Amino acid sequence: MKKIAIIGGGPGGLTLARLLQVKGFTSVTVYERDVNKEARVQGATLDLHEESGLAALQEGLLMEPFIANYRPGADKMRILDKDANIIADEHAGKKDETRPEIDRGPLRKILLESLTEDTVVWDSQFADMEKSGDGWLLHFKNGTTSYADLVVGADGANSKIRPFITPIRPFFVGMTALEGSVYDAENIVPEMFELVKGGKLFILGDSKTLIVSAKGDGTLSFYAGFKSSADWTLNGNLLDWYRREFKGWAPVYETLFANVSGGFIPRPQYCMPLDQDWEALPNVTILGDAAHLMPPYAGEGVNMAMLDALELSRCLVKHKNMQEAIEVYEREMRKRASATAAMTLTQTELLHSPEAIRNMMEIVGHV
């Protein structure tokens, strides 16, 4: 049985570890840079799709804990304009839960608790690796080393594993999203809390977006999207910037920026080239954002990472030759990701255009 090292303990990496263990792989280790499982607050809610995220959980025998932890109604959306007029409201009628939502924290907990003891090695930030026989000797910033026959990079947008496979880099798509949160939102920003109604808001206007979602712990997470240069930085404080850049927007939206908890994170948006290609290696591969980074405006990121994990696990079982398994997996993964990235780039542009509300209504089928 080969020693498999997964670099990165996000949804993609943990899903792969679970699937491999279910399929009988006994030497699977996840190396995660976080000091422990409590080190970081997990982000906004995730909608899992039947053909990808849910399919991976199903094959990983994890639907029972998922059903116990998902949030009914969290997938319901409202579309608003910059004046806080509600243009479309999924709370107004019955909505089939084809894409159930779960908070990142509970999903991570489900995945972690499904793994055999000591699968995840915490406080292990990848530094480098070198060839060692038919495999790799991994070096971590804490001074430790480890051998692996197969290395899987599940280490996100700034993957340190990807350069071992390909020099192809992502391109900037012309916009930035500012991520922030408000804790105890029902008491701190009650009007916004009531607007969100336990689901999510898409607020569109002036070629900008403000996307707000509720979490099960009472937090509101939000992303302000706007066109920018790749080297955009905040000038002055957040509230002054908001008042300047979102001038004329309804006062209720400002309460998010006035009460942001724990600062904000600027996220310049990048995408891998749609025609990227490389020769498969016999002992290293990548999944998720490490393989096909793209903007988040189609809601596909975590689902694609979990589907990558599902397809890679199947290939490693089906093909006895590891390079053949990687080659088949990567070929199909790139093809699938290219189509999704093209759709995502189109939707990113449509939602940050003067006709964004009309475009959004068409995308979600309300017109």
Query: What residue ranges in the chain does DSSP mark as E strands?
Result: 4-7, 28-31, 45-47, 77-81, 86-89, 101-103, 120-121, 126-132, 135-140, 145-148, 150-153, 171-182, 200-205, 208-214, 220-227, 264-271, 284-286
Report pTM: 0.94
What would be the CATH architecture of the domain defined by 4-71+103-170+272-351?
3-Layer(bba) Sandwich (3.50)
Domain ranges across the chain? 4-71+103-170+272-351, 171-271+352-363
Q: How far apart are CA 319 and CA 326, in angstroms?
A: 9
Domain 171-271+352-363 sits in CATH at 3.30.9.30
- Distances from the Cα of 234 to the Cα of 55, 68, 180, 242, 278, angstroms: 40, 41, 14, 10, 37
Coil, helix or strand at residue 268? strand
The helix/strand/coil state of 202 is strand
Tens digits of residue pLDDT in 262-281: 889 999 999 999 999 999 99
DSSP 113-172: HHSPTT-EE-S--EEEEEEETTEEEEEETTS-EEEESEEEE---TT-SSGGGT-----EE
> Does residue 298 surpass a pLDDT of 90?
no
Q: Count CB neighbours of 363 within 10 A.
A: 17
pLDDT in tens, 71-119: 988 889 999 999 999 999 998 876 666 789 999 999 999 999 999 999 9
pLDDT for the residue 95? 62
Q: What is the pLDDT of residues 324-367, one digit of tens each?
A: 999 999 999 999 999 999 999 999 999 999 999 999 999 887 54
Find the distance separating the first CA and the last CA of the chain, reported in whole Å. Answer: 54
